[in-house]
Structure 1
Amino acid sequence: MAQQVSYFSPGPAKIPHEVLGQLQEELVHYKGTPVSVMELSHRSKDFGNIIDATEKVVRELLGVPDNYRVLLMHGGGTGQFAAVPLNLMSRTGKADYIVTGSWSSKAAQEAAKYGTVNCVLPKSERYTGVPDRSCWKLDPEASYVYYCDNETVEGVEFQSVPDVPEGVPLVCDVSSNYFTRPIDVSKFGLLYGGAQKNIGCAGVTLVIVREDLITNPLPVCPTVLDYTVMAKNKSLYNTPPTFPIHVMGEVLAWVKKEGGVKEMERRSVEKSRMIYSIVDESNGFYSSVVTPSSRSRVNVVFRVGEDGGNEELETKFVDQATQCGLLSLKGHRSVGGIRASLYNAITVDDVHRLAEFMKKFLQENKV
């Protein structure tokens, strides 16, 4: 009998098993057609049905208002680091960036190529949470305010939507926690995220943008990143990532069947609490530098060993976990330690297996 495997990769991440089974069948013949789903023309009626169904389930699950466009784009989250300023910076030539981790920092660096970037927070050598609103410096004349809702590297997550000056659009990278909890889309000018963590496989980026923000891109904006062009052509200006779009649609259909984003939120809370409780009750053997009020529900980052972590012990932890079928737990190289990514496709049973391993490892290795 094959070993049970639980895959905690930060991305590309686990896809629900029943979705994979369906996709496997469609790789040869898609719904009675003589061709693979990967071979369908993006101009065909069959693919038209796929992209329409994908947009429909996105709108249904998140309650997307009618004055927002749903775009399915190339380039991943990193592509949107450039697309956002290229499309929105022209309003005033400057933008506010709330930098709370590695990804928002990279986004700010990219945006600085196209306008003036104001870092809302004081510069930090180590990202351990979302600083109190009292220390923020927001510009009421900014073209937009940008933040990353969940920093996968550091394990920092916003627990509420930031308040911004009236009339300034709020832009959010939700790549790693898209569809893990309800979102009031009307509070945002733009939301985006790569699919490869919670909603599909690598290759497509889901952008939800308010219609009034897609009219005036910078002249240097490449056509493939131009929201105006993509909206006008319903994401079909050029050949889109057809198979990843189909996978996204099927994964979101699975989310709907499982109970929607409210149920995903309930599971996220249950799964993350299971791990954080062990960390907090380990008397320092496991530790987290993230402020409890900013701890991520989907990327649980912690160290192993007293005094803030022991690299030799952490290597042992990862090796033994791998032998037990608990895969991809090594932390990001920039912060070290352990990272358990608890995305939607990770089951409560998967996390229970990890929790039991952590308890056993603690008993066998504590000083």
Structure 2
Amino acid sequence: MSNMPALKPERPFFSSGPTCKPPGWSPEKLDTRSLGRSHRSKYGKARLKYAIELTRELLGVPDDYLIGIMPGSDTGALECAMWTMLGAGPATVAAWESFGNIWIQDAVKQLKLDNLTTMTADYGEIPDLASIPQDNDVVFTWNGTTSGARIPDTDWLEPGRKGITINDATSAVFAMEMDWAKLDATTFSWQKVMGGEAQHGMLILSPKAVARLESYDPPWPLPKLFRLKKGDKVNTEIFEGATINTPSMLVVEDYIWALEWAKSLGGRSAMIGRANANAKIVTDWIEATPWLRNMASDPALRTNTGVCMVFQGDWYESLPDGDKAAVPKKIAAKLEELDVGYDFNGYRDAPPGLRIWCGGSLESEDIARLLPWIEWAYEELKAGRL
């Protein structure tokens, strides 16, 4: 048997969602004064509003944009934007991984939009976004959570374009700069880059998005969870802490703790720097490892959060397809058994491979310690000992 590496990660949490808690987190550090209180109490609403205000500060969201806490995680927030704003004109939905394809299915099978164009690309690539007409509404995913491919820029979105842009940014915010001037509805969940808990999403609306909501009523029924208007106007109370349904105040306090932690480091720039440093460790290792390749072949498209890789080489290519798919599963399972690394197998619908989360809540040393263990497990598997 080849020698095992000497050091294990101190925090072996490499899942791409929910992600690793920030360093120093413990449940005892959460402010629990809002627990057992109504979320509609003065104190409860103040805490919800504080979470919104901290989000605005850390992300640099313009003052005239609205930020609301939504049910159903990023999925609920994104679908709310689609169901309330699409259908007023031509639309394009672009996808290059699993979740983007869900938004395509929403547009095609549920909303059944007229004058709809869909664009797709293989895992690790993105479609020709520059070909999207500027009059079209567009739905896109800033960072492919399951493919490791992100948009390199927003040059394909013209300033003052007629269509609205709906941006699923759930594994991008707090790790990549958002071009707010070109974004009308942006969504994310707390369970991604901030290491928060699931079930709550954020919906950020530009003045143009608000104008669309107030001037347009879709032809389909809207469930209560998607109703953003009171009469003909946007219900601004939703964006001041009065949530549509009951949130978990424990989860809210957890998110607030993570925001305050990020602020103490230096805010958004510090979080982006941490993600960049973490991702560089992994991408440099992939480049130096002959039996791996980055799922995103173009360096300009490579993410700094969920870095995805697939296997290559003579030994791997000689395996039957079923055995190829088993390689990353066996490596991930063995290292979980040894408490070295949890949940870094690739996404179930993606090509077989590994996916290591590199967002700012992880420590670089833990990532660096994981990689020799993957090499060890691969050699053990190749030798028939795993």
**TM over 0.5: same fold?**
yes
Distance 1:48 1:212 in 2: 26
Question: Which residue in the other structure is 1:321 paired with?
Answer: 335
- Displacement of 1:227 in angstroms is 2.6
The answer for the alignment partner of 1:177 in structure 2 is: 172
Query: How far apart are residue 174 of structure 1 and its match?
Result: 0.7
2:83 alignment partner, SS class: helix
Contact kept, 8 Å, 2:61 with 2:180, in 1: the verdict is yes
More displaced, 312-321 or 349-358? 312-321
Q: For residues 179-236 of structure 1, give each alpha carbon's deviation from its aligned partner in whole angstroms, at most 9, with x where no partner exists.
A: 1133232221110012211232101101100232331342512232123357432343
Contact 1:111 1:117 in 2 (8 A): no
Distance of aligned partners of 1:45 and 1:261 in 2 relative to their CA distance in 1, 3 Å threshold: same
Secondary structure at the aligned position of 2:53 is classed as: helix
Q: Which residue of 2 aligns with 1:47?
A: 44
Output the CA distance in 2 between the equivalents of 1:48 and 1:80.
20
Aligned to 2:236: 232
Partner SS, residue 57 of structure 1: helix
- Listed one character per residue, the Cα deviations across residues 38-85 of structure 1 (whole Å, up to 9, x for unaligned) are 322112222122112111111111222122111101022222443122
Residue aligning to 1:356: 372
Which residue identity does 2:237 align to in structure 1? N
Corresponding position of 1:141? 135
Partner of 1:252: 259
Rounded to whole Å, the distance in 2 between the matches of 1:81 and 1:11 is 17
Any conservation in 1 of the 2:95–2:101 contact (CA below 8 Å)?
yes
- Report Cα offsets for 1:105-152 as digits up to 9, x if no partner: 11121023322363453x44x32212455xx5323432x211101111
Q: Does structure 1 conserve the Cα–Cα contact (< 8 Å) formed by 2:10 and 2:366? A: no
2:61 pairs with 1:56:
no
Q: Give the C-alpha shift of residue 355 in structure 1.
A: 2.6
TM-score by length of 1: 0.86
Q: Which 10-residue stretch deviates more, 304-313 or 190-199?
A: 304-313
Distance 1:196 1:79 in 2: 14
Q: 1:302 to 1:150 in 2, by over 3 A?
A: same
Q: Deviations over 1:299-347 (max 9, x none)?
A: 1111245256644443442233221521111111222211111222111
Q: What amino acid maps onto 1:158 in structure 2? A: I
Give the one of 15, 18, 26 matched to 1:12.
18
Tell me the secondary structure at the aligned position of residue 24 of structure 2.
Answer: helix
State the identity as a percent.
20
Tell me which amino acid in the other structure corresponds to 1:228. K
Taking the aligned partners of 1:52 and 1:314, their CA distance within structure 2 comes to 43
Ranges in structure 1 where 5+ consecutive residues have no aligned partner: 32-36
Mean Cα deviation higher: 81-90 or 57-66: 81-90
RMSD: 2.6
**TM-score computed with the length of structure 2 as normaliser:** 0.82
| 1:331 alignment partner in structure 2 | 346
